[in-house]
Structure 1
Amino acid sequence: MLFLLHLTGCAVLAVADAAVTAAATAAKVTVKAAGAVVDAVIPDSKEKNTEPDK
């Protein structure tokens, strides 16, 4: 009986781990997409002006 409870606990842990992994992946994709939108709107955001002022 204890063996069956252990297997059930592992299954619950596996499902919870999969849910957390899916949520983390979705958050990462959302952040990358938002960064791409910002780069599209402001393309010079990563480039610095290296020309000296005259």
Structure 2
Amino acid sequence: MATTCLLLAGCLGTVVGSAVDVTLEVAKVPFKVAGAAIDVASGDDDDDKANNEDKDD
């Protein structure tokens, strides 16, 4: 009986740990999508600035 309880506790810990990992990854998705959308909307300002500085020389 004691062995069964220990095995069940270990299994439960694994399930809870996996659920937490999945929840964290799902929570990150909107931020990644929003960041990508902002990058697309803002364009490559850094590249344009570097090209303009090279032309001035």
Tell me the TM-score normalised to structure 2 length.
0.67
Q: Greater helix percent: which structure?
A: 2
- Looking at both structures, which has the greater relative contact order when contacts are Cα pairs under 8 Å and sequence separation is at least 6? 1
Report percent identity of matched pairs. Answer: 26
Return structure 1 stretches of 4+ with deviation > 6 angstroms.
none
Tell me the TM-score normalised to structure 1 length.
0.69
Match of 2:30 in 1: 30
Structure 1, gaps ≥5 residues long: none
Q: How many corresponding residue pairs?
A: 54
Structure 2, gaps ≥5 residues long: none
What's the Cα RMSD here?
A: 2.2
